[in-house]
Amino acid sequence: MATDDTVLTDDSLTRRPDGLAIALKIPWYRSLWLSSVSGVTVAIDGKPATGLTAELNGRTYTIDELGEQSETLWFLQDRLVIRTPDDPGTDTVDVEVSVALRLPYMQIKPGLYVTNHATNRRVLEAR
């Protein structure tokens, strides 16, 4: 739904000294609070990646900490950068990312909200 097909883009993958950085576009039509990010998983060359952290506006969070960030907005045109130490070291990397967004204004019943699941898998060149 919406913009799910463009979570990963050609320039999403960057190699850093301590691992890979994967820049994600938000799979929705509006900015959302980071507390709406209810799950992020990454697979590198088909294997689940470990030690994930998320960066936005110069701050770093563990994936679990995202749930508490109800005052930090992920702007529609900004990227959330997911980092993992798991780096196969090859020029191109098969990256699969799943993002779950709990939509804070689409209530199914009190306390239960519609969740948008977006999964992208692409072979990306590390920059």
Partner 1 sequence: MIQGVTLYSFTRAFHQRRYTFEQLVREVAGRGLGPGLEIVGFQSIKGFPVLTDEFTGRFRDLVAETGLTPTSLAANADAGLRRDRMLTDDELVDYMRPQIAAAKALGFPVVRVQISLTPDDMERLLPVAEQHDVTLGLEIHSHQHPKHPAIQALLERYEKLGSPHLGFVPDWGASLRAVPSTLLRRYSELGYSEDLLDALNTTWLEHHREGPPRTEQQHGRWFGQVIQLAHRHGAGDRAIEMAVNLTGLFGHAPVTDWADVLPWTVHTHAKFYEIDADGDEPSVPVRDLVALWKAHGYRGTYSSEWEGFHWNAVDDPFAMVAAEQKLIREALTDGH
Asked if residue 40 binds partner 1 (CB under 8 A), the reply is: no
Cβ–Cβ < 8 Å for 114, 106: yes
Q: How many other CB atoms are found less than 10 A from the CB of residue 127? A: 10
Closer to partner 1 by Cβ: residue 17 or 111: 111
Minimum CB separation of residue 31 from partner 1 in Å reads: 5
The rounded distance, in Å, linking the Cα atoms of 115 and 102 is 4
Q: Single out the segment in contact with partner 1 by CB under 8 A; choices: 15-23, 45-53, 71-79, 87-95.
A: 71-79
Region binding partner 1 by CB under 8 A among candidate stretches 3-11, 12-20, 46-54, 82-90: 3-11
Beta strands in 8-111 (DSSP E): 13-16, 19-24, 32-33, 37-44, 47-48, 53-56, 59-62, 73-74, 80-84, 92-109
End-to-end CA distance of the chain: 29
By beta-carbon proximity to partner 1, the closer residue of 71 and 91 is 71
Q: Pick from 11, 18, 31, 59: which binds partner 1 (CB under 8 A)?
A: 31
The contact set with partner 1 (CB under 8 A) reads 1-3, 5-6, 25-26, 29-33, 35, 38, 67-68, 70, 73, 75-78, 102-111, 113-117, 119
